Amino acid sequence: MELSASNRAKKVLVSKTFTFDSAHRLDDYIGKCANLHGHTYKLEVQVKGRTDHRGIVIDFGDLKQIVNEQIISKYDHKFLNDLLPFHTTAENMVVFFFQIIDNYLKKLINAQNIELQRVRLWETPTSYAEITREDFDQ
């Protein structure tokens, strides 16, 4: 079945999930997280754009390469307090990661059609921080 002309080039949300392991401690914090500890972080990245003539917004492999180069390779198996110039809370980190990915996508010539929509950083299987395009642009 072929898509009708009205269904071609629709905006579609595309999501990819990554994991990385890092250690940190929360400074200026009272509680067990003030001590050195680690997490297996799950990073979910969502972009939105119009599909091209093939029906693709962004190749999943390209999105993987971007996030691996810009985030995972820099922060996997690292002590985050040594690398990040702010308190290493999930809230601060998700905003920082959004900025990095957003800036990179804006520099790509072929990404004119693609906009970062949401980044979600899971610190544990039941706890995450999230920032959306709408909140980031405010």
Reported as a single tens digit per residue, the pLDDT across 75-108 is 999 999 999 999 999 999 999 999 999 999 988 7
Determine the Cα–Cα distance for residues 121 and 32; give it in Å rounded to an integer.
20
Reported as a single tens digit per residue, the pLDDT across 111-125 is 668 999 999 999 999
In this prediction the pTM is 0.92
User: Phi/psi of residue 31, each to 5°?
Assistant: 145, 175
Determine the Cα–Cα distance for residues 63 and 16; give it in Å rounded to an integer.
8
Determine the Cα–Cα distance for residues 41 and 138; give it in Å rounded to an integer.
26
Reported as a single tens digit per residue, the pLDDT across 43-79 is 999 999 999 888 899 999 999 999 999 999 999 999 9
Name the residues annotated as catalytic: 33, 77, 123
> How do strand 78-79 and strand 37-50 relate by DSSP bridges?
unpaired
Determine the Cα–Cα distance for residues 82 and 54; give it in Å rounded to an integer.
44
